[in-house]
Amino acid sequence: MSVKSFLSGSALFCILIFGYKISSAQNISITFSATSGDNSIDTVKVTNQRTTRSVTLPGDQTLALSPITGLSAIPIVADQEIIYPNPFQGNAAFISVVQESQTVYLKIQNLMGQVVSQTTVFIQPGTNEFSISVSTSGIYLVTMSTVKRTVSYKIFCTDAAGGRNAVLYHGNTSGGNGNHTELKLNGTQSGYTLGYSLGDILQYRCKSGNNITIITDSPSSSRNYSVDFAPCADPDGTHYQVVQIGDQWWMAENLAWLTEVSPVWFGSPTANYYYVYEYQGTSVAEAKKSSNYQKYGVIYNWLAAMNGAVGSKENPSGVQGACPTGWHLPSQAEWDELINFLGADAGFKMKATSGWVESSGSGNNSSGFNGLPGGLRITDQSGGFRGLGAYGYFWSASEYSGTIAFHTTLNWFTSVVQSIYADYKDVGISVRCLRD
């Protein structure tokens, strides 16, 4: 261990500990406001797409993005923990969400490895809160151990404020409910916090009534997000998440409007057909209960996606098709506009961060498109489902001929989008709609 430099008081510092460089950082404050006076933001769920941690806050509250300072050399296998704030003055809260009762050993060590304070408590499932304080400003290591796991974090105290070395347990704040998956922390600086490192991609899921707008960003400083809400609901009353990418507004999930459903071996290039991946019955109610419907929506042949409309190569296409009122089936020119806006590695930016057949096949979803690998129903001559988890296919309103139409493809093995691809109209694939 070597200390390269240290400046007291409020000055910047740079320390090398066991080969890890730590730089001082300030919390980033995030707020939200609706662009229209007719809307108010009910809630915002913020997810760090790298760590998968999330927090949900009321739309009128401030989110504090707290620098992640966990020691990466130590495996972190906890259910969920966070230290807030970090860096801190005086004291910090250590929050742990666990799924089962267990004995916990929590200790604070200084840079020399000396234990300055520790406690051992038996905690219940749910959200458990500790407070941490130290008598001298500086960098410390906080370690939480049980018989099953060990998790460690670096913390930085900027001002001890006459405090003492202490670790205190304040109890279970969730009534012993172990089903918590999100942290909602109350503090003097902000009601809610989320761990964040510069460059992480955050997804903001903003909700106003039944309307949901997705925003993705990697903030480098405090800011306010102005949120526009675009209603998107099909005739069955299903409301869809939407995202603005460039000048276009896209559905951020696959269309799930289902008026009828057929087994995979029934199909036609001249009649509407609807499928749910792996479902082989004809009951709409039963098909909607399936996990594939709930995740990937409906697979449509081209005529069902068009819903009786004539093909179009225009931008905008002018074809509502199976899309909700105020939305339309995009032409190939509109798909190309999306891909050109995203530029290099458009597929990587469009693909969801999980759900693809291999982790290497997933994207970073920086666009917020949340592309899902819903697979397809192949032609009626050999009828079958293929490609779930590996390929995402999306119809366009543009046709190549009387029997062939264009679609766009996301593949697990590449970050390139196949933007001009044609297939038979009796093939069944997913639909994404575009705002008029």
Measure the CA–CA gap between 173 and 196, rounded to whole angstroms. Answer: 24
Is the pLDDT at 30 greater than 60? The verdict is yes
Is the pLDDT at 325 greater than 50? The verdict is yes
Mean pLDDT rounded to a whole number for the chain: 84
The whole-number average pLDDT for the span 313-322 is 97
8 against 300, higher pLDDT = 300
Measure the CA–CA gap between 338 and 252, rounded to whole angstroms. Answer: 13
Is the pLDDT at 389 greater than 50? The verdict is yes
State how far Cα 155 lies from the chain centre: 27
Residue 19 confidence (pLDDT): 29
- Asked if residue 104 lies in contact with residue 146, where contact means CB atoms within 8 angstroms, the answer is yes
Lowest mean pLDDT among 23-27, 108-112, 312-316: 23-27
The whole-number average pLDDT for the span 147-168 is 84
Q: What angle do CA 435, 331, 261 make, to 5 degrees?
A: 80
Residue type, 245: I
Helix (H, G, I), strand (E, B) or coil at 115: strand
Lowest mean pLDDT among 74-78, 99-103, 380-384: 74-78
Residue 184 confidence (pLDDT): 40
179 against 276, higher pLDDT = 276
Is the pLDDT at 130 greater than 60? The verdict is yes
Residue 159 confidence (pLDDT): 85
Residue 380 confidence (pLDDT): 64
**Joined tokens for residue 55:** 């927090």
pLDDT, tens only, 253-268 = 999 999 999 999 999 9
Q: What stretches of 307-355 show up as alpha helix (H) in DSSP? A: 332-342, 346-350
Helix (H, G, I), strand (E, B) or coil at 159: strand
Is the pLDDT at 195 greater than 50? The verdict is yes
CB atoms within 10 A of CB 129: 18
Q: What letters, b where the CB count within 10 A reaches 16 and e where it falls short, cover 376-407?
A: bbbbbeebebebbbbbbbbbbbbbeeeeebbb
Lowest mean pLDDT among 89-98, 164-173, 182-191: 182-191
Is the pLDDT at 319 greater than 50? The verdict is yes
**351: which DSSP letter?**
B
Measure the CA–CA gap between 191 and 195, rounded to whole angstroms. Answer: 14
Residue 36 confidence (pLDDT): 82
- Asked if residue 109 lies in contact with residue 213, where contact means CB atoms within 8 angstroms, the answer is no
Outline where DSSP puts E strands in 160-247. 166-172, 192-196, 202-208, 211-217, 223-227, 241-245
Most distant CA pair in the chain: distance in Å? 80
- Asked if residue 41 lies in contact with residue 234, where contact means CB atoms within 8 angstroms, the answer is no
The whole-number average pLDDT for the span 211-229 is 95
**Joined tokens for residue 349:** 């930016």
Residue 174 confidence (pLDDT): 62
The residues spanned by each domain of the chain are: 20-226, 241-435
Pairing mode, if any, of strands 192-196 and 63-67? parallel
The whole-number average pLDDT for the span 282-310 is 97
Residue 94 confidence (pLDDT): 86
Is the pLDDT at 382 greater than 90? The verdict is no
The hierarchical CATH code for the domain 20-226 is 2.60.40.1930
Residue 21 confidence (pLDDT): 34
Lowest mean pLDDT among 166-170, 280-284, 319-323, 379-383: 379-383
The whole-number average pLDDT for the span 201-214 is 96
pLDDT, tens only, 265-291 = 999 989 999 999 999 999 999 999 999
The whole-number average pLDDT for the span 103-128 is 90
Measure the CA–CA gap between 312 and 302, rounded to whole angstroms. Answer: 13
Place of tokens 């057929």: 262
Is the pLDDT at 40 greater than 80? The verdict is yes
Is the pLDDT at 226 greater than 80? The verdict is yes
pLDDT interval class at 359 (50, 70, 90): low
Measure the CA–CA gap between 127 and 146, rounded to whole angstroms. Answer: 16
Measure the CA–CA gap between 413 and 418, rounded to whole angstroms. Answer: 12
φ/ψ of 377, rounded to 5, equals -105, 120
First vs last C-alpha separation in the chain: 61
Residue 157 confidence (pLDDT): 87
**303: which DSSP letter?**
H
Is the pLDDT at 77 greater than 50? The verdict is no
- Asked if residue 228 lies in contact with residue 211, where contact means CB atoms within 8 angstroms, the answer is no
Q: What angle do CA 355, 361, 365 make, to 5 degrees?
A: 70
Is the pLDDT at 434 greater than 50? The verdict is yes
